[in-house]
Amino acid sequence: MTVQDLVARFPEIPADLHREPLLAQFADSFGDLLAVAIDPSACAAEYDDVNHYYLGLIGPLKIYMYGLSSKEKALEHLRDMLQRRSADSDGFAASLLAERPAR
């Protein structure tokens, strides 16, 4: 996924991040998860895996969009996600999913 694809899919990513090299690396590394990530409805009682991907990957950027975080924290989030996936590419997607109680 390119940055252009990413910001088209998630317009909530602030414009001042669009030219950041970390965002380009993020788009490239997480294209598979970002392609299926979906912002959960505000009234949803339970989240699907695709909602957890959104919350873990895009959620902190949306918080920055609202002015509730700094640009430095948003970039730190991108850096952290890239490092975590690099350290454990197989287990990374699972780490974004919330623990679910046994049924």
* Residue-range domain boundaries for the chain: 1-39+47-69
**Model confidence, pTM:** 0.88
Contacts of 63 (CB under 8 A, 6+ apart): 69
The conformational region for residue 102 under phi > 0 = left, psi -120 to 50 = alpha, else beta, is beta
Q: Dmax over Cα atoms in the chain, in whole Å?
A: 45
pLDDT tens figures, 10-58: 999 999 999 999 999 999 999 999 999 999 988 877 889 999 999 999 9
Instruction: Report whether 77 contacts 61 (CB < 8 A).
Output: yes
pLDDT tens figures, 87-101: 998 899 999 986 554
Name the residue with tokens 């009234």.
Answer: 43
